[in-house]
Amino acid sequence: MRRKKFIIILSVVLLLAVAAGSAYFYGQSVKNIETITYLDFVEKAEDGKVEVIYLGDSPSLDGQMTDGTRFITENPRNEGFKESMLVLGVKVEEGQRSSALLSVLRVLLVFGIVIFAVWGISKLMNRGTAGHKSQADKLTTMQCETVKDAGVVFDDVAGNQEAKESVKDIIDFLKNPDKYARMGARMPRGVVFYGPPGTGKTMLAKAVAGEAGVPYFAFSGSDFVQMYVGVGAARIRDVFKKAREMGRCVVFIDEIDALGKKREALSSGGNDERSQTLNALLTEMSGFNANEGIIVIAATNRLDVLDQALLRPGRFDRQVEIGLPDINGRFEIIKIHSRNKPLSQDIDLKSLAHQTVFFSGAQLENLMNEAAIFAAKRGSKLIEKGDIDKSYYTVIAGAEKKDRSAISRSDREITAYHEAGHALVTKLVAPENRVTKVTIIPSTKGAGGFSVSLPPDRMYRSKKQMESSIKIALAGRIAEEIIFGRENVTTGASNDIEKATQIVMALVKQFGMGDSTGMLNYDILFHNSVANQEHIVEECRAFMDKYYKEISNLLVENKYLLDKIARTLLAEESIDEECLEGILSGERCEPTVPAGDHVPQKSGEKSAAMA
């Protein structure tokens, strides 16, 4: 600050000195200029007393006598004036001679520009330094809002009982840190919650703070990643400084992989902004005292991309998986999200929990919310079973298209046999799966139809179950080929082929279930490179060819069932599990409208088999 003031004072003094000197010089020069008449000028020129004149377009003419005296006279501005002066031996220079005042002004202008440039650069440098500080200050004042009461307890978090048990000792530590300090125990300084999106990682972190009754700080990993080097590290330090001032608290960092990715994967070297921010986080976590009472909880969907220095003991040394809820967890989550909703007596929440396999907590909340919206749109006072069913299929496949008048008969038939193939093969190769709905009604998500296949809750997936999923996915395309011919297959199976390819690649590359590839993980061997993996492609192709032949033979043998399911779909557009079971068992599931008299409709190109 003193140096800045000194530079400003010195600049002002120099500017004043130059101005004073220039004014004095101009005053002295003005005294030596003599004003004469044009007749006197002509006489002096004829007498040889004029040395030079400066000829311009201004009304005045200035010049210099042979004795050095400067003069000013009137400018005649005629065409022969210059020639007459040259004849008299007077030197003529084109252009107005710069006045002393103009010279002074030019000097002052140049000097002023220099002073302004020095001042501007100094101010920009100070603003840049202050900007870094203001960025961190902004995080502290705006982002770092302390929530003293998170308002969430364990009763608000359903499912994930194992995860709750894993953090109960942390809650006790936050309540009674001295008890653990006396025993010489060191509690985890950091906990990482990892798992699929929407499984309740943020909610569980709030519940930890709420159960312990301590303040709760919430951030996103992207809040600390900035383009200016040093800003992110400053933000980290400010956050932990404020946390120490609060004493016992929970610091929650969501999407920590935004700043905590493995550093060897960074291409810009070890001195970039993200690396500095990560180093600051590591340093702050290592600096905690054993009884300080600060717990850092992080959440990520990708535990495998985090830097190992974050996961070592003493930092985030406890990793807790927050997975998709099982049937009991789904039932409890649905009950929580139904608390403030008026449900009809015919709604069975336990049955809905069975139906929502692979749903996350966020999807279950969305399911109940959509059902409430449908009921409100109808003007009903209660949420009925039809609202739940409509919401369920809207969540998994999109809303039904209302206008289907332009859909052709042939497209409807293709979709009917495609979806009938999925449903029939599901019942033949995976009878433990429930097929709750088969429809040829197109949806707003681009599906021409879909069949919902619900597997039972499992902890693991066997090779046979993975093979069954591949066969179910291929069944729609094979049904099209059997009925309409190989040359008439459509693009409707694109999504099915994608799913089948993903499963067979995982079977061979990750789980070591290939016949010739052995018990190896090829992603680790080749680091996800496609080089030297021709034999893997051949193994996957052999599997797919094998399954394709098996399902082709199976559908040909049961073509009469395929026809019955397809004809029922053409008449009814949708069938449920009870109707499908009736068709397969030989009981009649009569169409209410003859298939040939149904309104022609179109299915679109995409068909989804929810296997």
pLDDT in tens, 545-582: 999 999 999 999 999 999 999 999 998 888 888 888 88
Neighbours of 193 (CB within 10 A): 28
Over range 359-380, report the average pLDDT. Answer: 92
Q: Is the pLDDT assigned to residue 37 strictly greater than 80?
A: yes
CB 451 within 8 A of CB 579: no
Helical packing angle, 559-572 and 534-557, nearest 10°? 80
Q: Is the pLDDT assigned to residue 247 strictly greater than 70?
A: yes
Q: Is the pLDDT assigned to residue 256 strictly greater than 50?
A: yes
Query: For residue 32, what pLDDT is reported?
Result: 61
Residue 567 shares a structural domain with residue 429: yes
For 89: left if phi > 0, alpha if psi spans -120 to 50, otherwise beta; the answer is left
265 in a structural domain: yes
Return the residue matching tokens 């049904």. 479
Over range 345-370, report the average pLDDT. Answer: 90
CA angle 486, 490, 494 (to 5 degrees): 115
CB 196 within 8 A of CB 360: yes
Burial group, residue 603, by CB count within 10 angstroms (0-12, 13-18, 19+): buried
245 labelled catalytic? no
pLDDT tens column, 468-503: 999 999 999 999 999 999 998 988 888 899 999 999
Residue 351 shares a structural domain with residue 453: no
Provide the percentage of residues in the chain whose pLDDT is more than 90: 20
314 in a structural domain: yes
CB 322 within 8 A of CB 336: no
Phi and psi (nearest 5°) for 298?
-120, 155
302 in a structural domain: yes
Residue 386 shares a structural domain with residue 494: no
Residue 304 shares a structural domain with residue 335: no
Residue 389 shares a structural domain with residue 426: no
Residue 416 shares a structural domain with residue 529: yes
| Domain C-terminal end among 364, 397, 430 | 397
Give the integer Cα–Cα distance in Å for 481 and 478: 5
Residue 299 shares a structural domain with residue 246: yes
Could you tell me the residue range of the domain that residue 446 belongs to?
409-610
603 confidence band (pLDDT: 50, 70, 90): very low
606 in a structural domain: yes
Give the integer Cα–Cα distance in Å for 40 and 335: 114
Q: What is the CATH number of the domain that holds 384?
A: 1.10.8.60
Phi and psi (nearest 5°) for 216?
-130, 120
468 in a structural domain: yes
Query: For residue 167, what pLDDT is reported?
Result: 87
| Domain C-terminal end among 258, 293, 321 | 321
Q: Is the pLDDT assigned to residue 600 strictly greater than 50?
A: no
Highest mean predicted confidence (pLDDT) among 140-149, 523-532, 552-561, 580-589: 552-561
Provide the β-strand partners of residue 94: 55
pLDDT tens column, 418-455: 999 999 999 999 999 888 889 888 876 667 788 888 88
78 confidence band (pLDDT: 50, 70, 90): confident
Q: Is the pLDDT assigned to residue 141 strictly greater than 50?
A: no
Residue 239 shares a structural domain with residue 307: yes
| Domain C-terminal end among 300, 321, 342 | 321
Give the integer Cα–Cα distance in Å for 238 and 234: 6
Query: For residue 88, what pLDDT is reported?
Result: 80
594 confidence band (pLDDT: 50, 70, 90): very low
Q: Of the listed 255, 419, 481, 573, which one is catalytic? A: 419
Q: Is the pLDDT assigned to residue 7 strictly greater than 70?
A: no
Query: For residue 393, what pLDDT is reported?
Result: 85
Would you call 590 helix, strand, or coil by DSSP? coil
Q: Is the pLDDT assigned to residue 182 strictly greater than 90?
A: no
Query: For residue 375, what pLDDT is reported?
Result: 92
Among 289-303, 360-374, 410-424, whose mean pLDDT is lowest?
Answer: 289-303
Q: Which secondary-structure segment (H or E) carries 167?
A: helix 161-175
- Tell me which amino acid residue 307 is: D
Q: Is the pLDDT assigned to residue 232 strictly greater than 80?
A: no
Residue 228 shares a structural domain with residue 294: yes
Phi and psi (nearest 5°) for 259?
-120, -10
363 in a structural domain: yes
- Tell me which amino acid residue 438 is: V
As for how many domains the chain has, the answer is 3
**Two structure tokens written together for 369:** 């919310």
Query: For residue 16, what pLDDT is reported?
Result: 64
Query: For residue 136, what pLDDT is reported?
Result: 46
Residue 333 shares a structural domain with residue 314: no
CA angle 224, 227, 233 (to 5 degrees): 40
609 confidence band (pLDDT: 50, 70, 90): very low
**Two structure tokens written together for 66:** 């042979």
97 in a structural domain: no
Instruction: Fill in the DSSP letter of residue 259.
Output: T
> Which ranges of 446-517 does DSSP label H, i.e. alpha helix?
463-484, 494-505
Residue 416 shares a structural domain with residue 541: yes
Over range 70-76, report the average pLDDT. Answer: 82
239 in a structural domain: yes
Q: Is the pLDDT assigned to residue 164 strictly greater than 70?
A: yes
588 confidence band (pLDDT: 50, 70, 90): low
Q: Is the pLDDT assigned to residue 309 strictly greater than 80?
A: yes
Query: For residue 607, what pLDDT is reported?
Result: 37
53 confidence band (pLDDT: 50, 70, 90): confident
Q: Is the pLDDT assigned to residue 605 strictly greater than 50?
A: no
Residue 200 shares a structural domain with residue 337: no
Q: What is the CATH number of the domain that holds 216?
A: 3.40.50.300
